[in-house]
Amino acid sequence: MYLLRHGATPPNLVEPPVMQGDGIDQPLAPIGREQAARAAEWLAHRPIRAIYSSPLQRAMETAGLIAEKHGLAVEPVDAIREVKVGRWEGSNWTEVERNYPEQYRAFREDPGVNGYPGGETLQGLLNRVTPALESLMTRHAGGEFVVTAHSVVNRVYVGSLLGIPFARGYFLPQANCCVNIVRWRDGKAKLVTFNAIGHLM
């Protein structure tokens, strides 16, 4: 499985970045389309059997550019849409720390249990993402396929494969249009490539 983060959107590009969650649904910025085109070119010669995506615009647009190279349709998977960030949607972390100091501290200590206010916990996110990805890997065992998802989705899932606690795994790097490669063998997933960005250079 080639697990990608979508290309950059305008909220990704401001400094500090704005949390989009699953509620802010914007298309890619021009640089995001360029990133997706480079990822598509990198994957163009792989024997890709299928392409799946979060239904949010930024992921579907990224997946669409990859799909064009293979003559495939993109299949949306609702279970891999980005985490619900609740009342923090549209904010950056500086604003969150200032406006929600106690909830911010609790989140930083254990986001698996202390989730986004009005949104999801990271344990809840992992519980919906893992079965969906494992189902796809079982379906395509012996073949190669693409999934385009999101920063927090990828961090939480990859962190679980590495055995990293949520409080640390949440901050794993996931560059826009990076590629993680996950191998499925004997009913078990193994991370073999993490946050690859050579195709973007």
* Residues taking part in catalysis: 6, 82
d(CA 113, CA 157): 16
Give 79's strand partners: none
Tokens of 44: 């163009």
Distances (CA, A) of 168 to 34, 38, 148: 30, 30, 23
- Residue 14 CA to residue 183 CA, distance in Å, equals 34
Q: 45-67: buried (b, 16+ CB within 10 Å) or exposed (e) per residue?
A: eeebebbbbbbbebbbbbbbbbb
Phi, psi of 86 (to 5 degrees): 55, -130
* Cα distance between residue 88 and residue 142, in whole Å: 41
181 pairs with which residues across the strands? Answer: 2, 193
